[in-house]
Amino acid sequence: MAGGRRRRCGRRAVLPPLLGCLLAGALSGCGAPPDAAAPYRTDIQRMLDRRAEAVRDRDRDAFLATVDRGADRYLSGQRRVFANLADVPLRSWSYRFTGTGGFRPAAGTGHRIAARVELRYRIAGYDTVPVTSEEHLTLVRRDGRWYIAAGGGGRAPQQLWEQGDVTVVRGRRAVVLGVGQDRTRLTELARIADRAVPAVAGVWRDGWTRRVVVQVPASRERMAALLGAPADGYRGIAAVTTGVVGDGGGGPGSDGERATSADRVIVNPDAFPVLGKLGRQVVMTHETTHVATRTSTTRTTPLWLSEGFADWVAYRDTGRGPRDIAPELTRAVAAGNPPAELPRTEDFRFGRDATELARAYEESWLACRMIADRWGERKLVEFYRAVGGSRVTGQRGAVAAALLTVLDVSEAEFLADWREYAAGTLGRAD
């Protein structure tokens, strides 16, 4: 997606909860000329516009009229999809034809196109910008009209309503959309999210709606399908947050480039229930922090800062001491192996050794805790915004510039203070 990248951050089902990552998908073409569908673009877009209008108007017949009647299996599936959407509170819904991955004659008359289509939609009362998602569709032209004959292909993520009937539970500050889930469980998740929002708003006051949308698929495999990724990568991950971040460049203290797609917190129904009461709240508060900070999280924001800040907010009012929050780092300090450098992007990869991954998160949390302790919570927020809005090229340069302008320390001084802080904070019981 031009001008942005999608950042997904997740949490393991252990305390302290873990995980964050960057994922990106690309679609390769089938070798057809990029302008093969040029003569038909207007007609294809009109068909997609009729389909979108049918969704907004809840007009089943008009929706199904865009589907190829010869594609019996796909037509049957689209009937279910339309029914599954019945309770989803939509504010907007639109499609945009973005290109083709192939163009060849179809059986009979007309042509068949492997098309890329951008779906944009908003949940009423929650999304100020749309969710954007790429769909891969097979389009067929028959008797001068275009129809959708099939979907899927590539690694395009599914939508929740493609997986089953969606149950909607509304909280005071959250809406939870679930498939294959007991309403009682969804109601409890809404309560947890309702508590997470004010906890985050107490630190990150501006630049977000103070509302969150949570999705709960039926299984870890279905969760992975929503993310367009292999299921094994989410084993033990309690939840992830999806969203698109911009390129920044707004100058220190600004919000950088605004988010181009709304966030979703996606809960792993296999791992989230394993957590205790505190763990579930910490995970949801962590993910809600990512939602709140999205407009200030850009390409210049390193993962140690975004994940460490989210952990700091999540644990801030729990009453847990540093040695409880950072057990792996505590053991490392006791063994004479204190932190040397701030965690790198690769230190947060899914599939890493659990101990190493835990330590990356704990080191990041400790760095943010130190800033809050020594400079104050407002300075920590200002530092986060300054890094994301930096005009300096590269993450390390953005961090170094923000350290000087916001905290009045050099990178070397900050690292030395952090190492000393780790020894002093974790080398003794609180």
CA dihedral in degrees (195, 270, 10, 193; nearest 10)?
Answer: -10
Which tokens belong to 381? Answer: 């927020």
Average pLDDT score over residue span 216-227:
94
Q: What is the pLDDT of residue 429?
A: 52
Residue 300 and residue 248 in contact, taking contact as beta carbons nearer than 8 Å? yes
Closest CA to 133 of 148, 121, 118, 123: 118
Q: Which residue(s) pair with 167 in the sheet?
A: 178
Q: What is the rounded average pLDDT of the residues 234-263? A: 64
Using DSSP bridges, classify how beta strands 237-242 and 264-267 pair: parallel, antiparallel or unpaired: antiparallel
pLDDT at 37: 66
Instruction: Give pLDDT, residue 66.
Output: 98
Provide, rounded to the nearest whole percent, the portion of the chain with pLDDT above 70: 83
What is the average pLDDT across 202-230?
A: 94
Task: Sketch the domain layout of the chain as residue ranges.
Answer: 5-24+163-426, 38-154
Phi, psi of 428 (to 5 degrees): -145, 160
Which pLDDT does position 10 carry in this prediction?
59
Confidence of residue 20 (pLDDT cuts 50, 70, 90): very low
Q: Which fold has domain 5-24+163-426?
A: Neutral Protease; domain 2 (1.10.390)
The per-residue b/e assignment along 98-127, b for 16 or more CB within 10 angstroms, e otherwise, is ebbbebeebeeebbbbbbbbbbbbbbeebb
Please give the CATH topology (third level) of the domain spanning 38-154: Nuclear Transport Factor 2; Chain: A, (3.10.450)
- Model confidence at 107: pLDDT above 70: no
* pLDDT of 31 strictly over 90: no
Whether the per-residue pLDDT at 248 is higher than 80: the answer is no
pTM: 0.86
Tokens of 392: 């300096």
Cβ neighbours of residue 76 closer than 8 Å, sequence gap 6 or more:
none
Tens-digit pLDDT profile for residues 315-362: 999 999 999 999 999 999 999 999 999 999 999 887 678 889 899 999
Q: Please classify residue 255 by burial: count the beta carbons closer than 10 Å to its beta carbon, then call 0-12 exposed, 13-18 middle and 19+ buried.
A: buried
Question: In 10 A of CB 331, how many CB atoms?
Answer: 14
CB atoms within 10 A of CB 157: 18
Q: What percent of the chain has pLDDT over 90?
A: 73
Give me the pLDDT at residue 3, please.
Answer: 37
- On the question of pLDDT at 27 being above 50, the answer is no
DSSP state of 67: B
> Could you give the CA distance from residue 429 to residue 416 in angstroms, rounded to a whole number?
22
At 357-387, the pLDDT tens digits run 899 999 999 999 999 999 999 999 999 999 9
Q: Cα torsion for 266, 272, 278, 282, to the nearest 10°?
A: -30
Q: How many CB atoms lie within 10 A of CB 199?
A: 18
419 versus 428: the higher-pLDDT residue is 419
pLDDT for 71 equals 94
The predicted structure's pLDDT at residue 353: 81
Q: What does the alpha-carbon distance between residue 13 and residue 235 come to, in Å, rounded to a whole number?
A: 9
